[in-house]
């Protein structure tokens, strides 16, 4: 049963408490029902400086000197308390494991865990993303010492001497706040005459529990030899054990050396097992209480022939030294009050156990957790007594883990009420037992209602605030209490529009109270009376005051008396601050007007350059991803998983899905169609075929006016994002310029300029029917990129833009657009549980000669193959240009020159790309790759035969160059392809072959 079971871990240290004291309302300077600050019985004039109220409060009597004695000019004021500038921070200091108890009577000071350090932390602040988060000490009712609530988020256990960056032995999250339980004055018998004597003599017991099901309930023994921890881990496997319970007692508050100082308390604690049906934050066992001053409650459990008692604060200390002990922040205490041997008796007066005086006087060894033999089976209620003291059992104990509640006042104008749901568990002589009814009454200035019902053997209460103020639910005629604070009725502020909630309004209605009563903000952070600071941190102020964070340690105000309507004003204030800078949209970008045919031709040539540049970037990125066979090697080597192989390269059956690699190549194929289609537009205007120039870097940005970088890079998430930006639809707002804006001017010119197309009409460019999507085939099955007049030209431009951006979100083309397909790839890539970049480590913008933005390849073999690639690329371009030089009207797919160009792409350039991307570049950590295409003159001839002869000559030059390379640098099929096309071109030149297949 909780810490009364075994094993137990005992620890000891100190607690640092920096709680504010000006809110204790000693002089009645706060109307706690409305959070109104009073001075001389009247609301304080908020136009006056806050410091004026602070001086008034400090000067209010009675006053005390540094020794705590009455003095008219003393530094301490009872009205403001000893720590008016407290910030509610709470921490354990130097808390270490002192010994472990594996069994009754066992007291092991040599276990490996002894000396390990425990720390209590606050919650991680998701907004500021902080470490070293402090827990908070908050007084639900500042006028009482028994309404303290601790907001903590994490417990850690670290090895002896561990540094801040060392792993913990154990860590766990704390699920809920925990309140003070057994609060008793007179825990030190001796009085010193100090005005804080009552606080020095206070003792409080706290408890929280840690669920083993929490994902952050983690052990990490790091090779530590600790039988106690192993025993505890084994015990945690029991289904009846929910986790761990940690109980700690605070007492012997240090004397504050000066005003506005934190204080320290002795901290004594024990950790044990948390069992099913036990409360998380209330000590388990049979409860015995005493009416005598200074004697605190205790619990006990009878099991296995023994009685285990939790007497951590049951017996007071006799004396307290005047000053702190050397090397300690608290004062040395005398021994426990000797009360003689204590006899545990049952209802018949039979002695069932004896607690020797020597045992409970040895407090610093056992921390008040005692085990004694059971002398006989008890009957009925128990009492623990001696000639000097008596504790009697409370048969029924009913209590809730939520023993400090903050309740919203009702919004009566809209008939809204805000109940808090709590569970009240009942125990009869320590055993969990359903109870038909729990007697209770509500006392205090505030009012609340309670609706009760049975649920799973416990009572479920709906506690609803009815009238603002401080209140208490007193259970069982005073045996237990639940503290209530019904927050002020501020619902009229909920109706105030955001535009009215400026700084002055927020300060007057919310912040002034905190500036007056809790001056730590102005003393240590920034003054709430400074508008410049509040405007600066308006967003953070709202985040910290957001009601959804009220159970977090970092919530502001720490004291938590802020009502929901007032918290909402921070959001309205933030909206006001944000709205101070009005959104100014720039004038919409209008397409640059094209005034004549010459400008249109120049724009179309630039469009060819753009389509070529984008197409080659897609190809470069796609080929940087290994093919399926290479990917299988990556799987075999353990570098990829099978799922990653399928994502990058598709399935092994090589059917429709070719993964990211194939998807990008599909887009590249369609960009090639755009390249040809724009050329068809040029030829329809009477212009020759334009091979185009691939641009990158600053040169591309200057030429095309796009914000997105154009570069030849291996595939990555970044590169994919860049592709998406390039294809961004014009109908979806975005700050960057996209391709769609580039084509808008061309579309406008084609619609408006007269006389662009000859009177004769008819198509002026070749036909092509590859790489057109299914939607196009269904709607226009005969379409082959023909351009002959204005209508077909407009159709061509719309075809290009719709295939890229989708036309409209609700268009059937949108799903199949480049933009949406690339976004789908990004989604699949980002959904991977582990980041995955499948590309080979190839250079960005590889070049053979130094140019701006390029990366020079220096490896001899790679340079030799890159030169072959470069010449092969230029031969492929020349083949296309020569095809169009004679203005063919037939299908491109029947043209022997176009087929030769395609074969050069796939049969020569593609394998060379794969080879280069697996060669060293000369740059450490980077492979080579195909060179960025250079600008070159693509000469064509009106005489088809002469043109083919010149192409054959270029092909011959490549054959001769290849012959000079090492045999294994270029594969046999590529060498044979060049031989084949040399003869093929010569046959075309001689007329042995027709121009079309």
Buried b (16+ CB within 10 A) or exposed e, 290-317: beeebbbbbbbbbeeeebbbbbbbbbbb
Residue 778 pLDDT greater than 70, yes or no: no
Q: Please, what are the domains in the chain?
A: 2-26+81-394 (no CATH), 397-486 (2.60.40), 491-579 (no CATH), 591-621+669-840 (1.20.1260), 844-997 (1.20.1260)
Rounded to 5°, the CA angle 801-804-807 comes to 60
Give the separation between CA 821 and CA 814, rounded to whole angstroms: 9
Residue 92 pLDDT greater than 70, yes or no: yes
| Residues in the chain, total | 997
pLDDT band at 773 (very low <50, low <70, confident <90, very high): low
804 burial via Cβ count (<10 Å: 0-12, 13-18, 19+): buried
Give the separation between CA 19 and CA 887, rounded to whole angstroms: 90
Distance of CA 922 to the CA centre of its chain: 41
pLDDT tens track for 414-429 = 999 999 999 999 999 9
- pLDDT in the model for residue 922: 96
Nearest residue to 913 via CA among 951, 970, 857, 856: 970
Distance of CA 216 to the CA centre of its chain: 16
Beta bridge partners of 287: 299
* Residue 13, phi then psi, degrees to nearest 5: -175, -140
pLDDT band at 779 (very low <50, low <70, confident <90, very high): low
pLDDT band at 889 (very low <50, low <70, confident <90, very high): low
- pLDDT in the model for residue 49: 93
Q: Is there a cis peptide before residue 365, judged by omega within 30 degrees of 0? A: no
Classify 331 as helix, strand or coil.
strand
Token digits of residue 506:
């927020």
Task: For CA atoms 329, 330, 331, 334, give the dihedral sign.
Answer: negative
Sheet holding 480-486, edge to edge: 404-407, 480-486, 469-475, 440-444
What does the mean pLDDT of the chain come to? 92
pLDDT band at 771 (very low <50, low <70, confident <90, very high): low
Please measure the distance between the N-terminal and C-terminal CA atoms of the chain and give it in whole angstroms. 92
- pLDDT in the model for residue 893: 66
pLDDT tens track for 262-315 = 999 999 999 999 999 999 999 999 999 998 888 999 999 999 899 999 999 999
Q: Which residue has the tokens 């990555």?
A: 716
DSSP 348: T
pLDDT tens track for 391-421 = 999 999 999 999 999 999 999 999 999 999 9
| Mean pLDDT (whole number) for 132-150 | 96
Q: By percentage, how much of the chain surpasses pLDDT 90? A: 77
Strands (E), 729-851: 846-847
Residue 925 pLDDT greater than 70, yes or no: yes
Contact between 510 and 46 under an 8 Å Cβ cutoff? The reply is no
Contact between 857 and 843 under an 8 Å Cβ cutoff? The reply is yes
- pLDDT in the model for residue 442: 95
Token digits of residue 26:
């000693």
- pLDDT in the model for residue 689: 87
Residue 477 pLDDT greater than 90, yes or no: no
- pLDDT in the model for residue 212: 97
- pLDDT in the model for residue 894: 76
CA distances from 650 to 345, 749, 955 (A): 79, 43, 36
Residue 760 pLDDT greater than 60, yes or no: no
636 burial via Cβ count (<10 Å: 0-12, 13-18, 19+): exposed
Give the separation between CA 675 and CA 683, rounded to whole angstroms: 13
- pLDDT in the model for residue 351: 97
Token digits of residue 906:
């796939």
- pLDDT in the model for residue 892: 64
pLDDT band at 7 (very low <50, low <70, confident <90, very high): very high
pLDDT tens track for 366-385 = 999 999 999 999 999 999 99
Classify 896 as helix, strand or coil.
helix
Within 10 Å of residue 163's Cβ, how many Cβ atoms? 7
Non-local CB neighbours of 439 within 8 Å, separated by 6+ positions: 475, 476, 477
- pLDDT in the model for residue 888: 67
pLDDT tens track for 101-138 = 998 878 899 999 999 999 999 999 999 999 999 999 99
DSSP 387: S
pLDDT tens track for 676-723 = 889 889 988 989 889 999 999 999 988 888 889 999 999 999 999 999
Give the separation between CA 435 and CA 457, rounded to whole angstroms: 8
Token digits of residue 295:
């004697």
- pLDDT in the model for residue 788: 84
- pLDDT in the model for residue 967: 87
Token digits of residue 404:
């400090």
Residue 761 pLDDT greater than 60, yes or no: no
Name the more confident of 888 and 63.
Answer: 63
**Mutual orientation of helices 659-684 and 597-623 as an angle, nearest 10°?**
160
């Amino acid at each position: 049963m909780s810490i009364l079971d075994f094993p137990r871990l005992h620890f000891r240290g100190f607690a640092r408490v920096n709680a504010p004291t000006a809110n204790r309302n000693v002089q009645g300077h706060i109307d706690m029902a409305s959070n109104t600050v009073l001075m001389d019985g009247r609301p304080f004039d908020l136009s006056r400086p806050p410091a004026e109220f602070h001086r008034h409060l400090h000067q209010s009597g009675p006053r005390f000197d540094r020794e705590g004695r009455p003095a008219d000019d003393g530094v301490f004021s009872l009205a403001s308390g000893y720590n008016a500038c407290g910030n509610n921070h709470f921490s354990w200091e130097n808390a270490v494991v002192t010994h472990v108890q594996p069994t009754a009577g066992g007291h092991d000071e040599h276990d490996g865990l002894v000396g390990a350090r425990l720390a209590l932390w606050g919650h991680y602040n998701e907004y500021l993303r902080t470490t070293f988060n402090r827990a908070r000490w908050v007084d639900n009712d500042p006028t009482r010492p028994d309404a303290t609530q601790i907001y903590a988020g994490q417990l850690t256990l670290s090895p002896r001497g561990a540094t801040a960056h060392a792993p913990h032995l154990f860590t766990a999250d704390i699920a809920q706040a925990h309140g003070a339980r057994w609060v008793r004055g007179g825990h030190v018998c001796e009085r010193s005459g100090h005005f804080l004597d009552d606080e020095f003599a206070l003792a409080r017991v706290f408890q929280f529990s840690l669920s083993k099901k929490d994902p952050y309930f983690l052990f990490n023994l790091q090779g530590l030899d600790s039988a106690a921890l192993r025993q505890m881990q084994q015990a945690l496997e029991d289904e009846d054990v929910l986790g761990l319970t940690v109980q700690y007692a605070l007492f012997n508050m240090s004397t504050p050396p000066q005003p506005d100082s934190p204080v320290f308390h002795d901290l004594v604690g024990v950790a044990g097992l948390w069992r099913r049906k036990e409360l998380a934050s209330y000590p388990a066992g049979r409860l015995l209480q005493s009416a005598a001053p200074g004697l605190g409650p205790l619990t006990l459990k009878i099991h296995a022939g023994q009685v285990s008692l939790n007497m951590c604060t049951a017996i007071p200390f006799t004396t307290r030294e005047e000053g702190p002990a050397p090397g300690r922040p608290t004062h040395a205490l005398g021994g426990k009050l000797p009360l003689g041997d204590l006899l545990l008796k049952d209802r018949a007066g039979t002695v069932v156990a004896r607690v020797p005086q020597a045992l409970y006087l040895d407090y610093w060894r056992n921390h008040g957790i005692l085990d004694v033999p059971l002398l006989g089976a008890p009957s009925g209620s128990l009492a623990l007594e001696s000639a000097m003291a008596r504790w009697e059992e409370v048969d029924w104990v009913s209590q809730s883990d939520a023993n400090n509640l903050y309740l919203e006042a009702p919004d009566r104008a809209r008939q809204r009420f805000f109940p808090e749901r709590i569970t009240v568990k009942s125990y009869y002589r320590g055993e969990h037992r359903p109870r038909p009814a729990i007697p209770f009454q509500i006392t205090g200035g505030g009012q609340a209602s309670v609706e009760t019902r049975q649920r799973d053997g416990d009572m479920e209460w709906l506690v609803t605030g009815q009238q603002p103020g401080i209140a208490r639910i007193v259970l069982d005629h005073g045996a237990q209490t639940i503290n209530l604070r019904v927050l002020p009725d501020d619902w009229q502020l909920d109706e105030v529009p955001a535009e009215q909630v400026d700084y002055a309004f927020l300060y007057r209605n919310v912040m002034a109270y905190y500036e007056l009563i809790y001056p730590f903000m102005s003393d240590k952070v920034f003054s709430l009376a400074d508008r410049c600071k509040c405007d600066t941190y308006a967003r953070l102020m709202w985040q910290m005051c957001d009601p959804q964070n009220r159970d977090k340690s970092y919530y502001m105000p720490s004291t938590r008396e802020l009502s929901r309507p007032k918290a909402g004003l921070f959001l309205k204030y933030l909206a006001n601050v944000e709205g101070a800078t009005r959104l100014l949209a720039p004038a919409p970008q209008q397409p640059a007007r094209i005034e004549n045919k010459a400008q249109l031709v120049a724009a179309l040539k630039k469009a060819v350059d753009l389509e070529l540049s984008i197409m080659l970037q897609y190809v470069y990125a796609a080929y940087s991803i290994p093919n399926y066979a290479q990917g299988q090697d990556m799987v075999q080597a353990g570098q990829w998983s099978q799922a990653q192989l399928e994502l990058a390269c598709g399935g092994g059956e090589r059917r429709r899905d070719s993964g990211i690699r194939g998807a990008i190549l599909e887009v590249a194929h369609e960009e090639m169609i755009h390249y040809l289609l724009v050329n068809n537009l040029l030829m329809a205007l009477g212009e020759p075929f334009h091979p185009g120039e691939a641009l990158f870097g600053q040169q591309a940005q200057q030429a095309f006016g796009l914000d997105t970088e154009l570069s030849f890079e291996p595939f990555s998430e970044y590169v994919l994002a860049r592709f998406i930006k390039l294809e961004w639809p014009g109908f979806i707002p975005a700050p960057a310029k996209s391709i769609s804006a580039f084509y808008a001017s061309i579309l406008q010119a084609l619609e408006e300029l007269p006389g662009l197309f000859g009177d004769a009409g008819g198509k002026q460019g070749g036909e092509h029917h590859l790489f057109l999507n299914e939607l196009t085939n269904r709607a226009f099955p005969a379409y082959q990129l023909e351009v002959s007049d204005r209508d077909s030209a407009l159709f061509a431009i719309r075809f290009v833009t719709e295939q890229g951006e989708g036309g409209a979100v609700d268009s059937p083309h949108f799903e199949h657009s480049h933009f949406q397909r690339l976004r789908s790839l990004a989604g699949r890539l980002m959904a991977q549980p582990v980041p995955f970049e499948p590309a080979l480590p190839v250079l960005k913008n590889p070049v053979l000669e130094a140019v701006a933005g390029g990366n020079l390849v220096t490896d001899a073999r790679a340079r030799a193959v890159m030169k072959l690639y470069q010449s092969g690329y230029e031969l492929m371009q020349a083949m296309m240009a020569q095809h169009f030089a004679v203005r063919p009207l037939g299908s491109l797919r029947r043209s022997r020159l176009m087929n030769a160009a395609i074969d050069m792409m796939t049969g020569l350039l593609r394998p060379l790309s794969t080879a280069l991307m697996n060669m060293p570049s000369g740059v450490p950590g980077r492979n080579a790759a195909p060179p960025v295409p250079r600008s070159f003159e693509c000469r064509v001839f009106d005489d088809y035969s002469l043109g083919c002869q010149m192409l054959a000559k270029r092909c011959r030059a490549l054959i001769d160059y290849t012959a000079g390379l090492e045999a294994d640098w270029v594969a046999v099929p590529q060498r044979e392809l060049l031989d084949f096309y040399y003869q093929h071109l010569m046959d075309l030149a001689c007329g042995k072959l027709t121009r079309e297949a």
